[in-house]
Amino acid sequence: MVVEIGAGMHLTLDDIIKTSRNYEEVRVGNNALDAMKRSRMVLENLIHGNVRIYGVNTGLGDLYNVTVNPEDVAKYSLDMLIDHSMGVGDYAPDDWVRATMLVRAHQLSLGYSGIRSIIVERLVDFLNMRITPLVPKYGSVGASGDLAPLAHIALALLGKGFVRYQGRVMPSIEALKSIGLSELSLSYKEALSLINGTSYSAAVASLGIWDSYRLLKAALAVMALMIETSRANMASLSIEANSAKLHSGEIEVAKIMSELLSDSKNVNTSGRVQDPYSIRCIPQVLGSVLDALIWVLRNVLNEVNSVSDNPIIVNSAVFSTCHFHGQYVALSTDLLNVSLAVLGNLIERQIAQLLRREINGINNYLANGPWRVGLMLAQYTAAALAARLRELSTPSTVQNIPTSGFQEDINSMSANSAIKLHDVNSIITQLIAALAYVTYSVINANNSCSTCGKVTTRIYKTISKYVVNVQSHHDAITKLMSSIDELSGIITLKINP
């Protein structure tokens, strides 16, 4: 299967995952080639008509009032990219960089940037030949585009900087020569267009959203077994009762939970009329997380499929805009980080509840003897992780710091927020694994999964497979972190933006 990009095409989350992680082939569509050719002709006509165009015959940033010869801009493109390649920190994972190249190629081939098609084709060559530039993680403020990370990618396209190719790190020029590609020279506006967009923020956010989606499904699976384990009252999960509210996420979660537990003989046997909030309010809490995830996905995919450049060419005119601004991505990933922190709080409370005699029906912490604390420390660890989530969920987009004098005075910090999303996902993975371990331990102590429902028995057996013969709590939770994909696959949940 081939992922086609450019004018007339709409990238999906699945397209981004397939290209960045599964190395799907990418192709520039014919409509995209025509659209780029048209916008390039418009740009050249405007230049020959002495129309002032930012970054083409003017300086950059706070130097926008300085007049420059367009040919000089092209001549010094490499210097400009070197000046902007100020990224720091560890190198971004390969899938982040590949997703960024895909999104940048798609946005540029929508036909609003006035660049030659050879620029987009070089990005596609890198994707299809599996050449991945080395890009430091940090340095973007999410406005004027993701300048620093995109500059590192742009330099690699020109044969500068370093790339990873065939399992080795090498100079980009060496990789280009090995596949028969020559060094790329840029014309006017092309260096600016390569870096003046939200592609890094949008790409990193897209991958994080996909991982959050998998984690939400895995959490639903483990929580279904937790309800079995706690012998909870099913009234709060009723589809009929939850349909009295108008939140689609809440109704969907109630539906999933009701179906998973429909044949359980454990539920409704605790004698409790009302369970604690962390058990009873699962549809409301997870439903709101689900609705937030869908809203976030819609915003980020809109950004992925929009022009992200400045200036842009529409019909026969040029417009100086703010289409490089990452505010939509920043607000969206900030919301998702907060939503996942709520999920983390929920999981921590569920672990605490399962360790209470009133809920597990055995004893506190599953402790055996006065000098043993059982699984008490599972809640300590969960508390530490939940606290870390609260730190990470502090919004990035309110942390504005102006750049380039007084010209670029409102920055989104979208890249910081998108990067944090991956850190948040990592902690959620650990928390789901901890909940799975505690749930499994309690249900084993009760010898009660013999009366579990059909699907929850499958969930139980999946967890059991990962913890058999483990030597320590740490070993068990570490192994269960690898179960996320399998647990996620048990749950049917579609997210349509």
Contacts of residue 209, defined as CB under 8 A and 6 or more positions apart, other chains included, come to: 13, 293, 296, 297, 300, 336, 421
Catalytic residue among 23, 54, 138, 213: 54
Contacts of residue 113, defined as CB under 8 A and 6 or more positions apart, other chains included, come to: 36, 39, 189, 193, 307, 309, 312, 313
Instruction: Copy the structure tokens of residue 318.
Output: 């040029």
Position 171, amino acid: P
Instruction: Copy the structure tokens of residue 220.
Output: 């639903």
By residue count, the chain amounts to 497
Buried b (16+ CB within 10 A) or exposed e, 382-400: beebbebbeebbebbbeee
Listing DSSP states for 383-441 in one string gives HHHHHHHHHHTS-STT----BTTTTB-----HHHHHHHHHHHHHHHHHHHHHHHHHHHH
Asked if 395 contacts 418 with a C-beta cutoff of 8 angstroms, the reply is: no
460 is catalytic: no
Instruction: Copy the structure tokens of residue 172.
Output: 């980009």
Asked if 454 contacts 263 with a C-beta cutoff of 8 angstroms, the reply is: yes
Listing DSSP states for 262-300 in one string gives TT-SSTT-S--SS--HHHHTHHHHHHHHHHHHHHHHHHH
Q: Strand pairing partners for 2?
A: 25
Q: What is the set of active-site residues?
A: 54
